[in-house]
Amino acid sequence: MTQTPTTRPPLNFAVIAGSFGGCGLVRFMPGTVGSVAAAGIAVALLYALPGHIPHLWFVLAGVSCIASLAAGVAILKLPGVKDPGWFVLDEVAAVFLTCGLTGAGSLLEICAGLLIFRVYDIAKPWPVRVFERLPGSVGILADDLVAAVFAAATLNVARAAIMGA
């Protein structure tokens, strides 16, 4: 389980990236704040770049994953840091992955994906929690990606049931 530290981490590039520009440094629900920020970017892109979105979600997820892994390596070198609650770049990657796996093309789909992802990320049902135990920055990221896959599967099944497909 991640914990938000009582003291602020030293500000450096890895902390700024890992906290997604400071979103994760809020005291209350930093993972949700980072996820909502990513969803806000997704909504802005949805309307700014109509027609280019399906592949863009995967590009953003991939870039966010690479950045999360790199920042995670640097963050884990800080004394006493294991998986800090303020590190939310992994949630950002997962929100974009959820959008990609669902083909999110509307505000409703982005919001539904965000909500379902947060439920899986917070509850950490099996096997999500298992991936959290992987070593290093992979463990920081992997549980969120698995939660994103579960969220996308849930949303896709719900969509199919509602649409009768």
All structural domains of the chain with their residue ranges: 13-163
Q: Confidence band (pLDDT; 50, 70, 90) for 3? A: very low
The distance in angstroms from the start CA to the end CA of the chain is 38
Q: Render pLDDT for 151-161 as a digit per residue (tens, 0 to 9).
A: 999 999 999 99
Ranges of H-type helices in the chain: 13-18, 30-48, 53-75, 89-102, 107-123, 128-132, 136-163
pLDDT at 4: 44
pTM: 0.91
Question: Shortest CA distance to 41 belongs to which of 96, 118, 121, 98?
Answer: 96
